[in-house]
Chains A and B, each alone.
Chain A
Amino acid sequence: GEDVEQSLFLSVREGDSSVINCTYTDSSSTYLYWYKQEPGAGLQLLTYIFSNMDMKQDQRLTVLLNKKDKHLSLRIADTQTGDSAIYFCAERTGIAAGNKLTFGGGTRVLVKP
């Protein structure tokens, strides 16, 4: 079955880059996602990558995918205090609309001034 794992916690200084890592087991994953959850809020989609891509850049966010190692990372450049949140990696198997997401446990990112 599908399984997604993340480290629990990351502390970073404001202005530095953050790198959040994720591993997954399902080799038939088609899309991989990064969601952000701020306190009291829902899950906000930050970015995603299709499984045939190695890298995707979206402003301060860079997603790297190593499909061979089943490793996904999210790099946040110039991390700001507003980036403090829990970040969830998720995978989706199949391309049909309506497929479920399998989430990792979330990485709590704390940005120190």
Chain B
Amino acid sequence: EPEVTQTPSHQVTQMGQEVILRCVPISNHLYFYWYRQILGQKVEFLVSFYNNEISEKSEIFDDQFSVERPDGSNFTLKIRSTKLEDSAMYFCASSGEGLFTEAFFGQGTRLTVV
């Protein structure tokens, strides 16, 4: 069964450092997403990406965040200068086209900023 894979599963970084979270979406999917879940809180939408550009972003997704599809298979989330409050589980998801498009989620990357 096709799946979304994320690396690393856990990353610890120092405050102020840049991090890149990586995702390999399902190969024939066209829409890509990042969500995050701060411990004990809801899963929150960050950004969606289609046709090599951001299609929607939340107010959380400020200038510190960026997304990129550097090649035909990877989809990355970069946080330029991490803050303590960026500590969360980050989920990547992808979906295809069509009236009903199920979003498949990866297993998440736990980011800990110290």
**B25-48, CB under 8 A of A: which get 1 and which 0?**
000001101010000011111001
In the complex the two chains form, is A97's CB within 8 Å of B43's CB? Answer: no
**Assuming the A-B contacts A42-B91, A45-B104, are A98 and B42 also in contact, with contact meaning beta carbons closer than 8 angstroms in the complex?**
no
Q: Given the complex, which residues of A lie within 8 Å of B99, measured CB to CB?
A: 95
Q: Are B91 and A43 interface neighbours, CB within 8 A?
A: yes
> CB distance A102 to B45 under 8 Å?
yes
Inter-subunit contact B107/A41 (CB<8 Å): yes
Whether the Cβ atoms of B43 and A43 lie closer than 8 Å is yes
Q: In the assembled complex, how far is the CB of residue B23 from the closest CB belonging to chain A, in whole angstroms? A: 11
Question: Is the pair A42, B4 in contact by a Cβ cutoff of 8 Å?
Answer: yes
| Residues of B89-113 contacting chain A, CB below 8 A | 91, 93, 95-108
Does A44 make an interface contact (CB < 8 A)? yes
> How many angstroms between the C-alpha atoms of A104 and B45 in the bound complex?
12
**Measuring CB to CB, which residues of chain A are less than 8 angstroms from any residue of chain B?**
4, 31, 35, 40-45, 48, 50, 88, 90, 95, 97-98, 100-106
Interface CB pairs A-B, < 8 A, 17: A31-B100, A40-B107, A42-B6, A43-B91, A44-B105, A48-B100, A95-B99, A97-B30, A97-B98, A98-B48, A98-B50, A100-B33, A100-B56, A101-B35, A101-B103, A103-B42, A106-B42
